């Protein structure tokens, strides 16, 4: 199936590694011009090199901290001045601080709100009018399975990310008439370097192999394994295409069958 994405421009945030990088790689392989961004220049440069090498795509890397409004401003301006437009916004964020309610401070809540909600609002504000003027756009928000099934030690994710489901529905209704769709992704357990590192630490502490740790962690996932970052990328690529023009305002679970609730 030709997704018809060749020549489109995508801005993918938090994309120097993990899920964000997986998304950027898949889009680049589909012929999309990609803007990647994260906080660390060295990681970004490495990510850019990887993407360019495997896809030959045009890739712009911009350092930006999503919790800093001026950085978000600069990111969108640089993307626009390099590529002219942004057709596809893929909002992904770094992981919020783990912790239970009693462990988290009020500052932690404020930071998580900037990281997981306000940055999404700032980015959307800066790209959506240009999409309206061209009558086409894709707004895609990467969240988490915690919207469906809270995880005890991730109270910030359980709570703050839920607001993105409201944002997605609101944007879908308001901007649907302009050829723009807004959707969210609720991914389950995805094997990134960060997760692999956690597995290595646990393996060392318990004196077992990394494979054994990952196997134990995967027991509750019907697919029997963690997902791969590029598997989130395939979903993003489809949602970004014209083939998905009728999917609007949806929150889509991609979790190997982990979450047990029906809706």
Cα maximum dimension of the chain:
59
Please state, in angstroms and rounded to a whole number, the distance separating the CA atoms of residues 228 and 190.
5
Q: How many residues does the chain have?
A: 263
β-pair type (33-38, 59-63):
parallel
Residues 1-20 that bind ligand NAD (CB under 6 A): 14-20
β-pair type (137-142, 88-91):
parallel
Instruction: Give yes or no for a contact between 158 and 146, defined as CB atoms under 8 angstroms apart.
Output: yes
Instruction: Based on the shown chain and the rule CB under 6 A, indicate whether residue 187 belongs to the binding site for ligand NAD.
Output: yes
Alpha-carbon separation of residue 188 from 19, 32, 92, 223 (angstroms): 11, 26, 14, 11
Q: Which CB, 151 or 173, lies closer to ligand NAD? A: 151
Tell me, by CB under 6 A, how many residues bind ligand NAD. 29
Instruction: Based on the shown chain and the rule CB under 6 A, indicate whether residue 184 belongs to the binding site for ligand NAD.
Output: no
Q: Which CB, 47 or 180, lies closer to ligand NAD? A: 47
Mark residues 192-211: x for contact with ligand NAD by CB under 6 A, - for none: xxxx----------------
Instruction: Based on the shown chain and the rule CB under 6 A, indicate whether residue 67 belongs to the binding site for ligand NAD.
Output: yes
Q: Which CB, 57 or 64, lies closer to ligand NAD? A: 64
The site for ligand NAD (CB under 6 A) is made up of 14-20, 38-40, 43, 65-67, 92-95, 115, 142, 144-145, 187, 189-190, 192-195
């Amino acid at each position: 199936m030709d997704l018809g994405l060749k020549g489109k421009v995508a801005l993918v945030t938090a994309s120097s590694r993990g899920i964000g990088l997986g998304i950027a790689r898949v889009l680049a392989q589909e012929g999309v011009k990609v803007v990647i961004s994260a906080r660390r220049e060295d990681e970004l440069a490495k990510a850019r090199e990887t993407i360019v090498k495997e896809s030959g795509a045009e890739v712009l890397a911009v350092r930006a901290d999503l919790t800093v409004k001026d950085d978000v401003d600069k990111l969108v301006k640089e993307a626009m001045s390099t590529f002219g437009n942004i057709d596809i916004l893929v909002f992904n964020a770094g992981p919020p601080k783990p912790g239970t309610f009693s462990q988290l401070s009020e500052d932690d809540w404020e930071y998580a709100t900037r990281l997981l909600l306000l940055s999404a609002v700032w980015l959307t504000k800066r790209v959506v009018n240009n999409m309206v003027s061209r009558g086409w756009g894709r707004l895609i928000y990467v969240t988490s399975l915690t919207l469906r099934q809270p995880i005890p030690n991730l109270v910030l994710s359980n709570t703050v990310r839920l607001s993105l489901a409201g944002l997605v529905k609101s944007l879908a209704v308001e901007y649907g008439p302009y050829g723009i769709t807004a959707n969210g992704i609720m991914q389950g357990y995805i094997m990134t370097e960060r997760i692999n590192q956690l597995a290595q630490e646990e393996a060392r502490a318990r004196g077992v192999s990394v494979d054994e740790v990952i196997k134990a962690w995967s027991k509750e996932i019907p697919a029997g394994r963690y997902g791969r970052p590029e598997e989130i990328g395939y979903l993003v690529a489809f949602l970004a295409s014209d083939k998905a023009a009728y999917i609007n305002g949806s929150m889509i679970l991609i979790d190997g069958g982990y979450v047990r609730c029906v809706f």
